[in-house]
Each structure stands twice: as structure tokens, then as C-alpha cells.
Copies of this chain bind each other. A is one copy, B any other.
Amino acid sequence: MVKIAEIEAALGRIKTTIHRTPILTNSTVDSLAGRQLFFKAENLQKTGSFKARGALNAVSKLGDEISAVCCDSSGNHGQALSWAAKSVGKTCHVAVPKGAPMVKVAAIENYGGLVHFCEPNDAGREAKRNELVEKYGAKMIHPSQDFDVIVGQGTIGLELIEQFEEQPLDAIIIPVGGGGLISGIATALRASWPEVKIIAAEPVEVDDCAVSMEKGDLVVTEKNDTVCDGVRTNVGKNTWPMIKELVDEVITVDDISVAKAWKLIMERMKTVAEPTGALALAVALSRSFNESYPRDQFPRVGVILCGGNLDLSVVPQMLKLADC
């Protein structure tokens, strides 16, 4: 479990380097939702996703005796950690599975990260991680289970409390993959907004968090077949206790709903979202959400738009799904 005071300290640590991202609204989307939606635009965050917050907090806490960090994420965490390490004068080593898209490799290198290719399987990744730790003395920074990372993501919650100082939100919808984002935000929000409903948004194709909540116990699945590449992972043992305690409900949506929500964001809001960035909006527009949280009782809902690192080559696939 993380403490609100740690999140407050993290915000003090990182706020001059990260963006205080804006709240976006759109009248067309509101009329479709039948209520007011407030988008926390983490797609406009440094490195294009909220991951910059946690990564920067984690590297900022390291002492001078540690000169390098590492991870095995070729996605947003890998980019964010590369950027964060560079900004504090440390080196970042990233294990990348052979065959990963060159655009991701280029992004990591662009932010100053050093790419190390590994076999594209769990054993290969683990071996490479261990090698990076041993060979370079690099500290492994886990994308969702590292407590300093969780605390960093929680700074979004503190910003929301400031941005909605006059009137708190009635509910907030937050994507869940490993659970770092939602654990951090939920911890920050609960302290100031005891009444807010905190909803986890998860692809039905990778529904480990929903299954875990139903069983009341952490369940691990092998499922990863979703367009939401940012959440193709299980909730972990560090984040699960916080999710179990602080999250009101997990609502799942299918890829078609995500693609339709993504198209709305692109066409109506004119802001660039990656597929996972549309997950929370898809939940806001879902029948499940509307049945559980009626519009008249929950008129003001926050939606975390978690990332904008859209691989433009997936646009045709998203359009095809959206037209289903």
C-alpha cells in the first residue's frame, strides 16, 4: 500500500518537469454519454503517456551510487524510463524482444535509452533483465509493481483534486493493466473524495482484474488478445491489495467498443489517442456503466485518457473494428 504523503512528495519532486495535463471536454461526446465527461489528457503528457510520472519519480529517488536503470518494456514505460533516466543524468537499458516494431525501438533510442534485444518470450526477457542488472549494475524499475512508480502515477489524482476543487467528480474511470495507474490515482483520490466511485476499465479479452474482483483473490490469466496493447498484462501482487480495497467495480468492454470510442476521440475531440487511451471512454459509453451509475445520480464523470502513442499503421485495423 502507498501513502498519500508519498504521492504529495512525488508531485513536489516531479512537477517542474512533467506537464500538468489539461482537462478536455467535448459537447458531442457529452451528448452521446448523456452526462458531462472530463478527460484527463495524459496523451499530452511528456513522452505521450502517464508513464512519465512514475518513471521520473522512481529515477529521481535513486542515489548517486546507482547510475543506471533497466526494464523490459518496449512500450510506453520503456520510453518513459529512457526519458526520465536521461533527465536525471542516468543511463537506461531496455530489453526489447527481437521482432518488436522498429518504431518502438526508435522511440526508446530517441529518448536516450539503450536497446538490448532478447528472445521474444518470458524466459528470454527475464534472462536479459538479469544480464542488464548484473552487467551494468542497473536497477530494475517495474512498469506497474514498483512502489515509486505507483506513487508517481498517483500524482494524477492530486492534480484532479486541484482541477475540480470547486466540485468533485461523481465517478472516475481508469484503465487497468498491471494496476499501477489505478492504485496510485485511487489512493490519492480517496483521501479527499470519499464518495467518488472509482471504476476500473478493462478489455473483456484480458479480464484478469474483473475475475480477481469477482473471486476476491488475485487471479493470473494468459489472455492478451486485445487492441489495447497498454493493458496486455495482469494485475500484480503489489497493486492488487489497493485495487481490492479502493476500486468500486471493474467494467469490461470489447475491442469493438474501444475502437468506436477511439474514433470518437480522434474525429470529435481532435486529440490523438492510442487504442488503450480510448478504453475508459468505451466504459463511460457502455450499458454496464450506465446501468450501475445512472446519469442523474452521477452527472460528472472523469475519464483517464492515458496515452497518445498511436502507431498510425494500426488505424485501418481500428477503423475496421469501429465499423463492426
**Which residues does A use to contact B, with CB under 8 Å?**
43-44, 48, 263, 266-267, 270-272, 308, 310, 312-313, 315-316, 318-319
* A270 in contact with B267 given A312-B315, A316-B316, A319-B313 (CB within 8 Å): no
18 examples of A-B residue contacts, CB within 8 angstroms:
A43-B270, A44-B270, A48-B270, A263-B312, A266-B272, A266-B312, A267-B310, A267-B312, A270-B271, A271-B271, A272-B272, A312-B315, A312-B318, A312-B319, A313-B316, A315-B315, A315-B316, A316-B316
CB nearest to A277 among chain B residues: B270
In the A-B complex, the 7 residue pairs with the closest CB atoms: A270-B308, A315-B315, A270-B272, A43-B270, A312-B319, A44-B270, A266-B272
This chain: how many copies in the complex?
2
Of A43, A263, A315, A318, most B-chain CB atoms within 10 Å: A315
Q: Which of B44, B263, B310 contacts A266 (CB 8 A)?
A: B310
Q: Which residues of B contact A44 (CB under 8 A)?
A: 270
Known: A43-B270, A271-B271, A312-B318. 14 other contacts (CB 8 A): A44-B270, A48-B270, A263-B312, A266-B272, A266-B310, A267-B272, A270-B271, A270-B272, A270-B308, A272-B272, A312-B315, A312-B319, A315-B316, A316-B316
A315–B317 alpha-carbon span in the complex (Å): 11
CB nearest to A308 among chain B residues: B270
CB distance from A287 to the nearest CB of B (A): 24
CB distance from A128 to the nearest CB of B (A): 28
A128–B267 alpha-carbon span in the complex (Å): 30
A208–B210 alpha-carbon span in the complex (Å): 60
CB distance from A132 to the nearest CB of B (A): 27
A272–B272 alpha-carbon span in the complex (Å): 6
CB nearest to A315 among chain B residues: B315
Q: Which residues of B contact A271 (CB under 8 A)?
A: 270-272
A44–B269 alpha-carbon span in the complex (Å): 8
A315–B316 alpha-carbon span in the complex (Å): 8
A44–B273 alpha-carbon span in the complex (Å): 15
A316–B272 alpha-carbon span in the complex (Å): 16
CB distance from A313 to the nearest CB of B (A): 7
